[in-house]
Each structure stands twice: as structure tokens, then as C-alpha cells.
Amino acid sequence: DSGVTQTPKHLITATGQRVTLRCSPRSGDLSVYWYQQSLDQGLQFLIQYYNGEERAKGNILERFSAQQFPDLHSELNLSSLELGDSALYFCASSGGQGHYNEQFFGPGTRLTVL
């Protein structure tokens, strides 16, 4: 158990819909990262937040957005969903004492768009 929690575990929705994925980082970690894992693209970095502020952006679509709240949990919002958005979405956290450059991954949210 990494200490990172993600909800929901599975999400099935239709094209054109909007969903929100939630992540709670490990206690003490200030950074949250979002990654997408798909068969054709592999594991891709989407976005990073540090203590509530956006720090880095990767291959994140304009239809996707994220935020980190004062209690440090984060949400990834995916809108106008397409079939190709079906993937496993991971959250990771880092920045705790002694592990500043090591990321701890949650179990992921499997999104299926029908």
C-alpha cells in the first residue's frame, strides 16, 4: 500500500460526458502528479501540482483540467469524453520528508468510455 488513494476504482461512461477523478496523496506529500496509461500511448505524464499550484504540464488535452485543494487532495476533470480517452489514470505523490524525488503511485482509476 503506497498510501496514495484514488477514487473511483472503475468508471464507465458515455462519449460526450464529463467525469471527475479524485486523488488523496500520502500524508506530508505536497506534490501530486497525474499520468495516463493506455495501450497505444503507454504511460504519459499529464500534469503536476505542488502545494496547490500548477507546476508542470505534459501531454494534457485542453478538455482535461486538474486542481489541488488546500487539503492537498487533487481532482482530474475530463470533459467531452471520447472513446480514445479510455485508459488507466494514475495519481502519484511525492515531496514528503526524505523522498522528494521518489513518486508513490495510487492504484489507478480505470475509465471506460462507451
Applying CB under 8 A, the residues found at the interface with another protein are 2, 4, 31, 33, 35, 42-45, 48, 55-56, 58, 90, 92, 94, 100-108
- Secondary structure (3-state) at 4: coil
Shorter beta-carbon distance to another protein: residue 20 or 105 = 105
Shorter beta-carbon distance to another protein: residue 14 or 56 = 56
Shorter beta-carbon distance to another protein: residue 22 or 79 = 22
User: What one-letter code names the amino acid at 38?
Assistant: S
The DSSP secondary structure of 14-58, one letter per residue, reads -TT--EEEEEEPPTT--EEEEEEEETTTEEEEEEEEETTEEEEE-
Please state the closest distance from residue 80 (CB atom) to another protein, in A: 25
